Structure 1
Amino acid sequence: MPDFDWKSAIGAVAPGLATALGGPLAGAAVKVIADKVLGRLDASEQDIAAALASGSLTGEQIVALKAAEQSFQVEMAKIDQASEAAALDDTKSARQQTVDLAKEQSSIAWGAPVVSTLIVVGYFFCIYRLFIVPADLPPNAFQLLNVMFGALSIAFGQVCNYWLGSSAGSRRSTDTVRRIAEQAKK
């Protein structure tokens, strides 16, 4: 059976491991699959393909692959949480630095608020000139204003996230944990 796609067979049982086969975690995924299907960590993709081409997965192999899939999903969730925690710590330390500088009444303390104010004012000025009062602008000025609006749009989002925070990361973490808990119940 030369056309047999063993990765699709694995994907039917353990979709997360099958997805990992196509990315930077392919080597680790092959080792896990080889261990669960063949009982050997040193087996190659060709060994797995040959073993699966000769027949279907046994019940014990399916159970082992599903357990490995759940472990893999838990580890990926832990990595995502660690990444989100690092991002939150970075934001928290930047905010804390602003607070500490303000307590010292340092002239540097005005840096973040002043830059933030300039970005917000520039953003709304660009909106005003481009959309509300689109007066006759020379073509070069119109192009420059468009470029400025694009750059300030990105910066405006960053300013809002700095001062107001972002719940997108925590929402993704919660969704991931909930999905893993649901899979564990199955």
Structure 2
Amino acid sequence: MDWLQLAGQLAQVGLPSLGTLLGTTLGGPIGGGIGAAVGKGAAAAIGAALGVPATPQAISQAVQADPSGAQIKLAEIEAAAKLQMAELGDLANARQMQVGLAQATHWTASMPAIVTLAILTAWALLTSALYFIPGEIPERVYQLLSQAYGAANLALGTAIAFWLGSSRSSQQKDAQISAILPTVVAKR
């Protein structure tokens, strides 16, 4: 039994997305590099959930032994896989849109930089107003400034994450690349 056959078996018990993930990443068109790392991670999670080794044969036997129990155990993994695939698709679409705008030299291509500068300016002004203006600030004005400062801090954090890519999915991708890089380099 191979990963593609296991994908079909998982689809038959009502887990088509999980089957597709395993079939395409370990036995199909994106079976190398990052795809293989993702597929191996999914296979390990499936094996752990079923209490068997992460091999197509062991997983297949566990599913055949108790199809409804396997479906229940693996439904959560499939939901997480669907969510991750959707997040990766959204991320790819956003990056593709940004690159397309920059290549077309469209005026909106510079909007992230403009918004970031506006956020940074607002944050600097609010910081100055709260910390460096001498004298007593009326309570109502101080409360409004404090709320605006909090919002500016959140916006600045988001802008920094946009430019530096410190999102959860980016960190996971970096970890996966770091994990497979030695094997890829060793093969060359």
TM-score (norm. length: structure 1): 0.46
Which has more radius of gyration? 1
